[in-house]
């Protein structure tokens, strides 16, 4: 496989889809992450086949397409992954005809690290899709009580602690002045 994919630092909302060309009895050994530290160099076949430097198991899915009976892969992509129907419309027939196991890798799997993926067998790239996001809308606040006056010209009132500090400082100055007067009179 000669495809290379650039993963941007802090990438969000990108979903990469691969088929896994392995017999069912080999899937578990391929997908299973070995025990050890998060960033150790223990071989992990799935990570190596993906060509990733960092991969978080919590943000990948590897399962047989037969698990999606009734919904189908296109339906799962729309309903489960949040991809717009129009984004998969062109690939619908191809996605529906896939057999075997599928690997879904979402952006969070890369932990915010920039890297270059160079997938190889047994992975076969199917497509890259973007999660549908709601458009940002700036509308007036719905409640009259949520509306207010933001007046930046007024100074905030001093806190009780600040006022107590000022009174204590004035008392200390009066006492110091009194001590000076007593020392001057006595001397």
DSSP the chain: ----EEEPTT--SEEEEEEE-S-HHHHHHHHPPPSS-TT-----HHHHHHT-S---GGGEEEEEGGGGTTTHHHHHHHHTT-B-HHHHGGGHHHHHT--SEEEEEEGGGGTT--EEE---TTEEEEEEEEB--PPP-----SSGGG------SSPPPPPHHHHHHHHHHHHHHHHHHHHHHHHHHH-
- Residue pair 119/50 in contact (Cβ under 8 Å)? The answer is yes
pTM of the full structure = 0.68
pLDDT for res 145:
64
Residue 172's pLDDT is what?
87
pLDDT tens series, the chain, 187 aa: 468 889 999 889 999 999 999 999 999 999 988 776 555 567 899 999 999 999 998 999 999 999 998 889 999 999 999 999 999 999 999 999 999 999 999 999 999 899 999 999 999 999 999 988 766 677 766 666 666 666 666 677 778 888 888 888 888 888 888 888 888 888 7
Give me the pLDDT at residue 134, please.
Answer: 65
Among 73, 75, 69, which residue's Cα sits nearest to residue 102? 73
């Amino acid at each position: 496989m000669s495809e290379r994919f650039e993963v941007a630092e802090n990438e969000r909302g990108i979903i990469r889809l691969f088929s896994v060309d392995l017999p069912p009895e080999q899937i578990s050994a391929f997908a299973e992450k070995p025990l050890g530290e998060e960033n150790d160099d223990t071989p992990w076949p799935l990570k190596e086949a993906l060509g990733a430097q960092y991969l978080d198991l919590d943000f990948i899915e590897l399962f047989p397409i037969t698990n999606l009976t009734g919904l189908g892969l296109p339906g799962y992509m729309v309903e489960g992954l949040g991809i717009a129907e129009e984004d998969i419309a062109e690939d619908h027939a191809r996605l529906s005809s896939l057999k075997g196991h599928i690997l879904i890798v979402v952006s969070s799997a890369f932990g915010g690290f920039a890297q270059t993926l160079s997938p190889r067998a047994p992975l076969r790239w199917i497509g890259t899709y973007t999660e549908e996001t709601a458009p940002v809308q700036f509308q007036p606040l719905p409640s009259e009580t949520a509306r207010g006056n933001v007046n930046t010209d007024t100074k905030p009132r001093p806190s009780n602690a600040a006022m107590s500090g000022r009174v204590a400082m004035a008392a200390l100055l009066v006492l110091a002045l009194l001590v000076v007067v007593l020392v001057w009179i006595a001397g």
